[in-house]
């Protein structure tokens, strides 16, 4: 199964990507995340592991790829309180060529016993609030 959300942010793609490429800053912009610390690795290199607290528990995630050319990153969940398996997510930032704004996509594939329920959890509880928070962060004059 896959979960997906997208938005257009009123800022240049390179500026939005410059912020999102930091694998250790999730608590700064994702509602519900109280703490984000790098446990292994660093500098947003593949293999870096972060620990998150919030959204009902503790999560550990590993950065798998970070590609500045395509403005995309892929990560996996190592541990979490949700009944999900084989979770891999990607977020990507692309330029909207006619406006100079950024198109941001966030998607995940995963396995679960109740796929429909977890799809809603990820889309409505994580992706959509996170993308909405980016609007506020990059709002002109913010």
How does DSSP classify residue 15? H
Residue 67 corresponds to which tokens in the numbers above?
């590609």
- State the pairing for strand pair 72-79/84-96: antiparallel
The larger pLDDT score, comparing residue 55 to residue 87, is at 87
- State the pairing for strand pair 33-40/49-54: antiparallel
Question: Which pLDDT value is given to residue 44?
Answer: 87
Question: Which pLDDT value is given to residue 141?
Answer: 59
Please give the average per-residue pLDDT across 105-131, as a whole number. 94
Question: Which pLDDT value is given to residue 81?
Answer: 95
The C-alpha angle with vertex 91 and arms to 112 and 119, in degrees rounded to 5, equals 25
Percent of the chain with pLDDT over 90: 89
Q: For 16-32, write each residue's pLDDT tens digit.
A: 999 999 999 999 999 99
Question: Which pLDDT value is given to residue 1?
Answer: 61
Classify domain 2-137 at the CATH class level: alpha beta
List the helix and strand counts (H, then E) for the chain: 4, 7
Q: For 42-78, write each residue's pLDDT tens digit.
A: 878 999 999 999 988 999 999 999 999 999 999 999 9
- With contact defined as beta carbons under 8 Å apart, do 132 and 7 qualify? yes
């Amino acid at each position: 199964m896959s979960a997906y959300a997208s938005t257009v942010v009123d800022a240049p793609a390179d500026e939005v990507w410059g912020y999102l490429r930091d694998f250790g800053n999730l608590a700064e912009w994702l509602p519900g995340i109280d703490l984000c610390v790098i446990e292994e690795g660093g500098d947003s290199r593949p293999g870096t592991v972060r620990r998150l607290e919030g959204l009902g528990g503790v999560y550990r995630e590993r950065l798998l790829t970070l590609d500045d050319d395509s403005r995309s990153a892929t990560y996996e969940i190592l541990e979490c309180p949700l009944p999900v398996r084989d979770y891999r997510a990607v977020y990507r930032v692309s330029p909207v060529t006619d406006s100079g704004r950024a198109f941001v996509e966030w998607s995940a594939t995963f396995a679960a016993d109740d796929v429909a329920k977890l799809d809603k959890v990820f889309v409505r509880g994580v992706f959509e609030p996170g993308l909405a928070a980016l609007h506020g962060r990059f709002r002109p004059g913010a």
